[in-house]
Amino acid sequence: MEIIEILKSLEPKKALTFGIGGGGDIVSTIPVANFLGHFGFETLHGSVVWDRIVVDPKPGPRPLEELVGIERINETVGIANESTKTADGVIPNIAKAAKHFGKVVALDLTKNVGKLAEGIRDFAEKEGISLIVGVDAGGDAISVGFESGVRSPLADAICVAALKKVGGIVAVTGFGSDGELRVEELLLNISDIIKKGGFLGCCSMSRRDYELMRNAVKDVTTEASMIPLMAFEGEMGLKKLRKGRSALVTPLSTLIFYFRAEAVFEINHAAKIVERAETFEEANSLLHAEGILTEYDFERAVAGKL
């Protein structure tokens, strides 16, 4: 696998792997970090600061300015711990995850793609990080953006665009575990990425991955990262999710796919759209102009703010 050759060649052996689709995706950084560990990597775990409304009732991502008990590294990157919370008292998934990881890298999506990329690059330089992997539980990060089932394209699009700028990798776990892309859509999009030379390989969860993830979900709220656990336990069939969606649980759910972020960006039209936005709100509006609704729209509708 090309990913193996990349991991062997990189120095220093330090990586950042962070959940890109929402706070719960941090659970899916576990198998990625363990895989990197086989090649001598010390890995920091992180996540975007955007939890679903079952965790945080305020619509949209949280800026670092709204968090207390966090170490600010730069405008878009901070270090969270178990005591981190929002100014209005919400305990985000990054704080819950810190119980398992010791510290968690928190990424602010409320600025723009350029500032997020600058923050990640600055943090990587300060920490001696040679590898940056964004992890999406489910697979909508490799969507085109116009598929009928896509419901949460915004966070993924912003992160894919930022990862492209920093030469990162996109890892996809769960194979449709978010209930957004159909299996045939995932396969078609993976084929397109392969044509662009962006497929780096895939591997499966291990027993250790399963045990650590199973322990993490006792504290971290997630749906998409639960599906691989069910698959590893031998379950098979449809599982109902929030918002009337369902996800197919199969042995494929235990696989982790690795892609060059640049190639993912090339097929992800939503990422291309949000890259030119100056603000988070503009990114959302630009997607609207292309007929794409987002998770932010859903959260505002539920909160009665549309």
Contact 177, 217 (CB under 8 A): no
With CA atoms as reference, report the closest residue to 94 among 162, 24, 187, 34: 24
Bond into 92 cis (ω within 30): no
Q: How far is CA 192 from CA 174, 261, 269, in A?
A: 19, 13, 13
**What is the extent of the structural domain holding 102?**
2-302
Mean pLDDT computed over every residue of the chain? 97
Closest to 267 (Cα-Cα) out of 203, 201, 186: 186
**Tally of structural domains, the chain:** 1
The confidence score (pLDDT) of residue 252 equals: 96
Contacts of residue 170, defined as CB under 8 A and 6 or more positions apart, other chains included, come to 20, 133, 134, 135, 136, 141, 142, 160, 163, 258, 259, 260, 261, 264
Looking at residue 41, what is its pLDDT? 99
Confidence at residue 251, expressed as pLDDT on a 0 to 100 scale? 97
Mean pLDDT in residue range 260-289: 98
Nearest to 77 by CA among 162, 153, 152: 162
Alpha-carbon distance 77 to 247, whole Å? 32
Kindly state the average pLDDT of the residues 16-21.
99
* pLDDT value at residue 212: 99
pLDDT in tens, 282-302: 999 999 999 999 999 999 999
CB 190 within 8 A of CB 142: yes
Q: How confident is the model at residue 6 (pLDDT cuts 50, 70, 90)?
A: very high
Q: Please, which pLDDT band fits residue 216 given cuts at 50, 70 and 90?
A: very high
Instruction: Return d(Cα 286, Cα 295) in angstroms, integer.
Output: 14
Cβ atoms of 21 and 224 within 8 Å: the answer is yes
**Which of the 8 DSSP states describes residue 62?**
P
Q: Using alpha carbons only, give the angle 278, 55, 256 rounded to the nearest 5 degrees.
A: 75
For the cut 90, the answer to whether the pLDDT of residue 119 exceeds it is: yes
| Beta-strand relationship, 42-48 and 14-19 | parallel
Q: Which tokens belong to 146?
A: 């116009």
| Total-model pTM | 0.97
Asked if residue 222 has pLDDT above 60, the reply is yes
Could you report the per-residue pLDDT of 44-62, keeping only the tens digit for each?
999 999 999 999 999 999 9
- What's the pLDDT band for 304 if we cut at 50, 70, 90? confident
**pLDDT band for position 168 (cuts 50, 70, 90):** very high
List CB contacts of 193: < 8 A, sequence separation 6 or more: 142, 199, 259, 260, 263, 264, 267
Residue 241: predicted pLDDT: 85
